Amino acid sequence: MSTVSQKESGAPAASPGPASTRDLSGGCGDDLERQCCGEPDQKLPGTHGVGDPAATFSGDSPFLSCRGRVIKWFWDSAEEGYRTYCMDIYDEDQNPSGIINLGVSENKLCFDLLQSRLTQSDMLRVEPALLQYPDWRGHLFLREEVAKFLSLYCKSRTALRPENVVVLNGCASVFSALATVLCEAGEVFLIPTPYYGAITQHVYLNSHVRLAYVHLDSEVTGPDARPFQLTVEKLEVALQGVISEGVTVKGLILINPQNPLGDIYSPGELQEYLEFAKRHELHVVMDEVYMLSVFDEALEYRSVLSLERLPDPQRTHVMWSTSKDFGMSGLRFGVLYTENQDVATAVASLCRYYGLSGIAQHQMAQLLRDHDWISQVYLPENHARLKAAHTYVSEELRALGIPFLSRGAGLFIWVNLRKYLPQATFKEEELLWRRFLDGKVLLSSGKAFQCKEPGWFRIVFTDKAHRLRLGMQRFRQVLEGRPHFRT
Amino acid sequence: MGWQERIDQAVITPVPGQAWTLGSGRVPSGVEHALSLSLSAGSSWPAEANTNTWRMSHRPDTPTVPRGQTRSQSLREQRVCSDLLEMIRHLQQSLKEHFTQLTTWQMQGLLSLEQRHSGAICKQEDLLDDLMCKMVNLLGSEAVSGLGLRPPLPVLDSQAANRGVRRVSSPQQADQPVPQQRDSEATLVSHDLSSRGIEISVSYHLDFQDYEAYQRDKYHKVKNTLGFINLGTSENKLCTYLLTERLCRSDMNRMENILLQYPDWRGQPFLRKEVACFLTDYCQAPSPLDPENVVILNGCYSIFSALAMVLCDPGEAFLVPTPFFGGFIFSSNLYARVELIPVHLESEVSENTHPFQLTVNKLEQALVEARLKQKKVKGLMLVNPRNCLGDVCSRDSLQEYLEFAKRNRLHVIVDESYMLSVFDGSATFHSVLSLTSLPDPNRTHVIWGTSKDFGISGLRLGALYTHSKGVASAVCSFGCLHGTSGITQYKLYRLLQDREWIDKVYLPTNRSRLQDAYKYITDELKALEVPFLKGGSGLSVWVSLKSYLEPCTFDGELALHRRFLDNKLVLSRGKSFRCEEPGWFRLTFAEKPSELQVGEWCWPPNPGLLTDTALSLHA
């Protein structure tokens, strides 16, 4: 049930990478030694100080420290799929045989709306204060807007407070900073799998914090359960498992709406998980970056900030950003909301490293304060487009007889391609992933999300209709064994 | 006796019955005492006491206290505090090293029973023991009881306990000049933070308390004439309006989808290309620089931190000539755990030298000494133009330093953040990128950013130029954590591209304003007969206020620093640049003329506020 990840796959959403294909639940001692004897490019980091990691990472970088080689490994192997894509991006006119990206979770459906909003005159003001060293927590004008915005859109019971807000350059940084200030190096957060794999890298790179998995199964076990259902029992077992290995667990990471499942937690479930965390004095890091991307009106999404009573408010930390809900991951804007002033202050103390441009801060404040535009223009249109794209891909999948989780939130669909694997192994999963890439469509395979069962893939459906259609066409061709492109 | 027990004893014995209530609660008991003592003492009162000494005399809402008492009291507090702080920092460092070493040995399977008692460990244990005892003695002494900061009894208020937080309050005594806000500001020692979380908060507070005081109470010529003037932060505010005007022009407002989408984590290709082109021209590189060697992150801090991560393993070190910008210490220590070993330079000149001159001899000597102490030196950090001193490095010296580094297989990180801020026509800046043949290109890494040269530190752009592809791609791994906004990248790309504006408008204006401000400030200094280093670059002047120190120590320097603060003037003191001689201050002159003048007016500290001291800047 529980496995402290001995290595850090760091594989971002788009790629299993060579390392991710290995099972890394080894303990210490012999296992490590055995791993160290592996092929250099398959050696996994996360075991510094043991044996001679430098030897395994030597190769082409004699100017780096041992640690530097491990860090470089993240870059070299983990981003493989994404970089292949970057070198060969599909373009209708310029590169029609380029790769279609259905792997990276980005919302490209509403660029027209955002472009017109972001070029309105209120966005273009540049004031001296924006050019100078900021308040490291984020400019007050922005924190005030964030507090108001979250109060409104998270439906909080009471008004949220600007002093509980810290602004950083993206949620990756929020993860990194929280890991630094909440954990010592080597301590762990629990996280239910499958999960957005890049978190591994976020908490590890600077902070050397690791993730311990709460593995969930696709099999449905009860009348009220759904596939990959998280239960308190599973959390308990995982926690005890990690503790029995002598590792300190500092917190629990929950993603809601969940990435890659698209599930949303009910208020009852949320409350249970939070109570569990409280019992064990665990911090809860709530990643709510998809909170406004719930496009099925029948679903009632509840932010943790909307709960009547938080079991342990001082240990509950919420993050949100405009990356997903407003389709602007390139803007690098992430916020932390925590009532714990020590945590807020400590995170803010790191803001020299996680600072966001004053100009971007001004623009975010202008955007977030425009509730009329958000509620009347952007959100309805975004939801309609999300729904249309989701419906299109769902129908394609049904036509192919592919099982998938049909959810009404997020930018992606979690599909089961097990029947296309000759054997149910991650090796075969990777081969299929490569066949997709060779067929010029980039997907994310389950291994990148630390899914326990081989054969799951995440399809991101938030691309423009013509690209999405072409992407799905290539997807079908690869599965039917007649890829359009040959390498 | 094992080291843990010894620490235990050292903490507990001298103050029986007075348990320290602070603790992180997750380290073994003995260590917990040691760590919590050092960390939370650091977090709770030395810093508090520091701020309170000056804060209380100026908060109009704070009750006044007898002045004579305040002064002597506060001087005593300062001394004890700075001693303690120094010890605590030392202790922290030693503990850290000790643990790192133990862990490493343990992991390497070297930690057998015999080795536990081997020389190195025993020596470290003795050092820890000694430090702990000294601290405990100091804490138990008169000095501390006078501060009203005795080890408190456990005060657990129910609310705080529920939150997993212990409130460490100091019992207030009637006869002590402790400001009222003490109570409300009683430091919370959080169980929620990791030890490094606490450390980060504490060191941030120590480094930035003056700056934060300034942020809360900024001078404004109409709205807040009694607010702080900040000549302590190195920011160029002379051309802010030129920049805001330029950044508002219509060419800045293009919005393309790639700016909103996940970026190339190395920096947007168009910006890297422009930075390469820009550096080629302004550094006068012999051949065009390669955009593939450029990495863009959100500021030079991030670049430096990432470089320290990928070039060194924990516990390794860089040589850095002093005085140098103190922020580097935090950056190298924060994540990378890389030590900065100062190469001390002196103000005194002999034949053919200038003040604070760096020579290869000094570098050699520092390297030998470091190696004798078993330090693993991985690199050399150079700043050119030098941040606080305002001078530039000659081409020959530069070449010599690089040769030295090559001989010793050291990396060289050259921070050229001020390269366009050379305003003295007779000084010529030589970028390391202008050298026709770099002695060891793969170990030479250049940092530049737009913060200083364009006065836009708020836009968060730092660039690394390195010939080593390995280093570049390792640093890229940090792109997702230290990336800079796509929209900002686009604007900076347009800015750097506009050579006509840079060459014909911005740089000439900036230079002449820097010259004027420099002339103004140095004329004032001459009138006050304050010695200073003649500079021709950068945003600040390095002044010697040695003759105003009493005593001529770092305590005296701190006291003088506080007096400036009492007079609402923020300066940076030499100690924070690890200068070895007390009495030097860095004064930023790139400030709007009106504020610079007020700063000057603050200069002889208003005697009304300092009746209890004979010190005056009018020597």
Closest chain B C-alpha to A59 CA, distance in angstroms: 10
ipTM of the assembly? 0.87
> How many angstroms separate the CA atoms of A35 and A40, rounded?
10
Question: How high is the pLDDT of residue B205?
Answer: 83
> How many angstroms separate the CA atoms of B356 and B534, rounded?
12
Give yes or no for a contact between B549 and B614, defined as CB atoms under 8 angstroms apart: no
Question: How high is the pLDDT of residue A25?
Answer: 31
Question: How high is the pLDDT of residue B164?
Answer: 39
Q: What residues form DSSP beta bridges with A459?
A: A413
Q: How confident is the model at residue A127 (pLDDT cuts 50, 70, 90)?
A: confident
Whether residue A357 and residue B107 make contact (CB cut-off 8 A), yes or no, is: no
Whether residue A331 and residue B485 make contact (CB cut-off 8 A), yes or no, is: yes
Task: State whether residue B241 sits within 8 Å of chain A by CB.
Answer: yes
Residue position matching structure tokens 């002159």: B589
> Does residue A455 come out as left (phi exceeding 0), alpha (psi in the -120 to 50 range) or beta?
left
Considering only CA atoms, which of B158, B191, B154, B157 is closest in space to residue B171? B154
Residue of B nearest to A333 (CA): B485
Task: State whether residue A173 sits within 8 Å of chain B by CB.
Answer: yes
Residue A403 has pLDDT above 70, yes or no: yes
Instruction: Give all strands (DSSP E) within A210-279, no chain letters.
Output: 210-215, 249-255
Considering only CA atoms, which of A360, A321, A338 is closest in space to residue A139? A360
Report, as an integer, the average pLDDT of A81-100. Answer: 91
Q: What is the dihedral angle through the alpha carbons of B125, B131, B134, B135, rounded to the nearest 10 degrees?
A: -120
Whether residue B310 and residue A134 make contact (CB cut-off 8 A), yes or no, is: no
Whether residue B195 and residue A184 make contact (CB cut-off 8 A), yes or no, is: yes
Task: Classify B229 as helix, strand or coil.
Answer: strand
Task: Classify A404 as helix, strand or coil.
Answer: strand
> How many angstroms separate the CA atoms of B249 and B251, rounded?
6
Question: How high is the pLDDT of residue B35?
Answer: 29
Which of B235, B262, B469 lies closest to A133 in CB terms? Answer: B235
DSSP 8-state class, residue B198? H
Report, as an integer, the average pLDDT of A296-301. Answer: 94
Contacts of B491 in chain A (CB under 8 A): 359
SS3 content of chain A, % helix, strand, coil (to 5): 45, 15, 40
Task: State whether residue B99 sits within 8 Å of chain A by CB.
Answer: no
pLDDT 10s digits, A182-212: 999 999 999 999 999 999 989 998 999 999 9
Residue position matching structure tokens 């043991």: A50
Which of B103, B470, B484 lies closest to A64 in CB terms? Answer: B470
Q: Which of residues 247-266 of B touch A (CB under 8 A)?
A: 247-248, 252-253, 255, 257-265
Q: Which of residues 205-224 of B touch A (CB under 8 A)?
A: 205, 208, 215
> For A51-60, A83-92, A188-197, B606-615, which range has the lowest pLDDT when averaged over its residues?
B606-615
Contacts of B331 in chain A (CB under 8 A): 352-353
Question: How high is the pLDDT of residue B163?
Answer: 39
Considering only CA atoms, which of B122, B317, B263, B236 is closest in space to residue B539? B236
| Grouped pLDDT means (10 residues each) for chain B, 619 residues | 40 32 32 32 32 32 38 50 66 66 53 48 61 56 38 34 37 34 40 86 83 85 87 91 92 86 90 97 96 96 94 95 88 89 90 87 96 96 93 95 97 96 93 95 96 94 95 92 93 96 96 94 92 93 93 94 91 92 94 75 40 28
Question: How high is the pLDDT of residue B286?
Answer: 96
Q: Give chain A's largest Cα–Cα span.
A: 64
Q: Which of residues 424-463 of B touch A (CB under 8 A)?
A: 442-443, 455-461
A37-41, A67-71, A411-415, B458-462 — most confident range = A411-415
> How many angstroms separate the CA atoms of A192 and A285, rounded?
12
Whether residue A126 and residue B411 make contact (CB cut-off 8 A), yes or no, is: no
Task: Kindly give, in sequence order, each residue whose CB lies less than 8 Å from that of residue A137, ignoring residues fewer than 6 positions away.
Answer: A143, A165, A166, A167, A344, A348, A351
Which of A118, A170, A180 lies closest to B483 in CB terms? Answer: A170
Query: What are φ and ψ of residue B447, in 5° steps?
Result: -110, 130
Cβ atoms within 10 Å, residue A279 = 13
Question: How high is the pLDDT of residue B133?
Answer: 55
Instruction: Give all strands (DSSP E) within B347-486, no chain letters.
Output: 377-383, 411-415, 444-449, 462-466
Question: How high is the pLDDT of residue B417?
Answer: 95
Residue of A nearest to B460 (CA): A357
Closest chain A C-alpha to B503 CA, distance in angstroms: 21
Question: How high is the pLDDT of residue B82?
Answer: 61
Whether residue A75 and residue B482 make contact (CB cut-off 8 A), yes or no, is: no
Q: What integer best gives the mean pLDDT of chain A?
A: 86
> How many angstroms separate the CA atoms of A201 and A317, rounded?
19
Cβ atoms within 10 Å, residue B63 = 9
Residue A441 has pLDDT above 90, yes or no: yes
Residue A366 has pLDDT above 60, yes or no: yes
Number of H helices, E strands in chain A: 19, 14
Closest chain B C-alpha to A396 CA, distance in angstroms: 26
Which of A74, A281, A350 lies closest to B164 in CB terms? Answer: A281
Which of B60 and A83 is assigned the larger pLDDT? A83
Q: Which of residues 408-437 of A touch B (CB under 8 A)?
A: none
Task: Kindly give, in sequence order, each residue whose CB lies less than 8 Å from that of residue B96, ignoring residues fewer than 6 positions away.
Answer: B337
Which of B243, B253, B477 lies closest to A71 in CB terms? Answer: B477
> Does residue A440 come out as left (phi exceeding 0), alpha (psi in the -120 to 50 range) or beta?
left
Residue of B nearest to A50 (CA): B107
> How many angstroms separate the CA atoms of B233 and B221, rounded?
19
Q: What integer best gives the mean pLDDT of chain B?
A: 75
